[in-house]
Amino acid sequence: MTTETAPQPLSVLSEEEELFRQTVREFAETEIGPYVHEMDVAAEMRPDLIEKFFALGLMGIEVPEQYGGAGGSIFLATLAIEEMARVDASAAIYVDVHNTLVNNALMRWGTDEQKSRYLPRMTTGLLGAFALSEPASGSDAFALEARATQDGDDWLITGRKFWITSGAEAGIFIVFATVDPDKGYKGITAFLVERDFPGLAIGKREKKLGIRASSTVEVILEECRVPAANVLGPVGQGYKISIETLNEGRIGIGAQMIGVAQGALDAATKYIKERHQFGRAIADFQGVQFQVAEMATQLEAARLMVYNAARLKDAGLPFTREAAMAKLFSSETANRIAGQALELFGGYGYSQEYPAEKFFRDAKIGVIYEGTSNMQLQTIAKLHLK
C-alpha cells in the first residue's frame, strides 16, 4: 500500500496563486469593468489603466526581483491574463504581450547589460511590443522584407511591420529584420528598438472587429539607427528567438481565450436566471441547462490544457506541443461558448447594451493571432509524428 500523495488537479491553486487570482479579479472588476464599454466604443485603452497595470506589478510577473519584477511564474501570468480577459480581452492583451513575449524574450536572450538597462524600466512604465509580422508575412512569418545593414557601430533597419499589438503606446519594440537575405531564416536578427530612435514612426491604426481598445498599428522603419549594443541575441538567431518566444506566447493567448469564454458563460448564466419566458426562468428549461452544462465542460477542459502547458513550462519540461494544443483548443472553445452565450441572450445578445456581442467579437481573434488554428495543427502533427 503506497503512502504517496496523489497529485492535485491542475485547477487546484496554491494559497499564493489563489490570493493572486483574487487580487487580479478584484482589480479587473473594479478598475477596468466600469470602462469596458466606453473603451470598446472609443477603440482606445485608457492611459491611466495601463499605468495601473504597472503599479499593480502585472507587467513584470516573471521578471526577477533584482530587476524590479515579482520573480513569479508563467502560471501566475496565466492567471492574471485569464482574470483580466474575463472582464476585458483588450486590457488582458497588454499584460499578455508585455509579459509572455517582450519580457520573456529579453530575459532569455538579453545580455546582462541589456537586462539591467531595460527590465527595471519595463516593470515600472516602459511598455513593450513584438514587431515580427509584415504586409507579406503572416503565417509565413519568416518571409521578412525588413532589412538591417551595418553602419559602423550601428545598424540601419528599413521596413514596415504590420499588426503590432500595443504599438500605439509602446516605448520599446523587439524588431525582427534580415541582415543577409541569401541566408534565408538564418539571416533573421532581433533588435531592441526604442520608440524615439531616429527613423521609427507609427503608422495607421487598424480598425478591428474585436479587442478594439487594444491598439494594433503599423510600425515604419526608414533607416532606423539602432546601436550594436541593442542586438538581441546572436546575429542570425532571430528565427530561434521568435519561435521559442511565441511558444510561451501561445500559453498567454490560451489564457486570454479561457478568460473570454468564462466571461461569456458568466454573463449568459446571469441572464438566463433573470429572463423569464412561459412563466419561468429560462434557466429552468432542461434544454438550456444542457447547453450550459456543455459550455462549462468545454471551458474546464480548455482551462486544464492551458494550465498544464503553463505548469510544464515552469517545471522546465518540454511544452511546445501542449502550448499549441492549448492555444488551438481554448481559442476554438472560446468561439463556441461566446457564440452560444450570444444565442442564449436571444435578440438582446445582438445588442451592444448587453455584453454577449462583445465577448463574441473578442473571441474571434484567438483563432488567428500568434499562429492560426491551422498553424497549431501543423505544429502538433509535426511533434506528434517525429
Task: Write the Ramachandran bin of 286: left for phi over 0, alpha for psi from -120 to 50, otherwise beta.
Answer: alpha
For 330-348, how does the pLDDT look when each residue is reduced to its tens digit (9 = 90+)?
A: 999 999 999 999 999 999 9
For 287-304, how does the pLDDT look when each residue is reduced to its tens digit (9 = 90+)?
A: 999 999 999 999 999 999
Is 83 designated active site?
Answer: no
Say which of 82, 248, 332, 370 is annotated catalytic.
370
Alpha-carbon span 312 to 324, nearest angstrom: 13
The pLDDT of residue 2 is above 50:
no
The pLDDT of residue 314 is above 90:
yes
Whole-prediction pTM: 0.95
- Quote the pLDDT of residue 140: 77
DSSP 97: I
For 91-136, how does the pLDDT look when each residue is reduced to its tens digit (9 = 90+)?
A: 999 999 999 999 999 999 999 999 999 999 999 999 999 999 999 8
For 192-240, how does the pLDDT look when each residue is reduced to its tens digit (9 = 90+)?
A: 999 999 999 999 999 999 999 999 999 999 999 999 999 999 999 999 9
* Domains, the chain, with CATH or none: 15-122 (1.10.540.10), 128-235 (2.40.110.10), 240-385 (1.20.140.10)
Residues whose CB falls within 8 Å of the CB of residue 98, separated by 6 or more in sequence, listed in order: 59, 122, 127, 128, 166
For 60-90, how does the pLDDT look when each residue is reduced to its tens digit (9 = 90+)?
A: 999 999 999 999 999 999 999 999 999 999 9
